[in-house]
Chains A and B, each alone.
Chain A
Amino acid sequence: KAGVTQTPRYLIKTRGQQVTLSCSPISGHRSVSWYQQTPGQGLQFLFEYFSETQRNKGNFPGRFSGRQFSNSRSEMNVSTLELGDSALYLCASSHGQNTGELFFGEGSRLTVL
Chain B
Amino acid sequence: AQSVTQLGSHVSVSEGALVLLRCNYSSSVPPYLFWYVQYPNQGLQLLLKYTSAATLVKGINGFEAEFKKSETSFHLTKPSAHMSDAAEYFCAVSVRGSYIPTFGRGTSLIVHP
Which residues of B88-113 are within 8 A (CB) of A?
90, 92-101, 103-106
A75, chain B: closest CB distance, angstroms: 17
A26 contacts partner chain B, Cβ-Cβ < 8 Å: no
B16, chain A: closest CB distance, angstroms: 30
**Distance A10 CA – B42 CA, assembled complex (angstroms):** 12
- A8-49 interface code vs B (CB 8 A; 1 in, 0 out): 000000000000000000000001010000000011010010
B34 touches A100 (CB 8 A): yes
Pick out which of these stretches binds chain B: A62-70, A76-84, A102-110. A102-110
Which residues of B41-99 are within 8 A (CB) of A?
41-46, 49, 51, 90, 92-99
A59 contacts partner chain B, Cβ-Cβ < 8 Å: no
Indicate whether A106 sits within 8 Å of B42 (C-beta atoms), given known contacts A98-B94, A100-B34.
yes
**Distance A96 CA – B45 CA, assembled complex (angstroms):** 18
A43 touches B103 (CB 8 A): yes
A98 touches B34 (CB 8 A): no
Q: Which residues of A contact B92 (CB under 8 A)?
A: 100
B36, chain A: closest CB distance, angstroms: 8
Q: Which of B34, B96, B105, B106 contacts A101 (CB 8 A)?
A: B34
**Distance A106 CA – B100 CA, assembled complex (angstroms):** 19
Q: Which residues of B contact A106 (CB under 8 A)?
A: 41-43
B98 touches A100 (CB 8 A): yes
Which 10 residue pairs across A and B have the least CB separation, nearest first? A100-B94, A104-B43, A100-B101, A104-B44, A43-B103, A42-B105, A106-B43, A105-B43, A56-B100, A100-B32
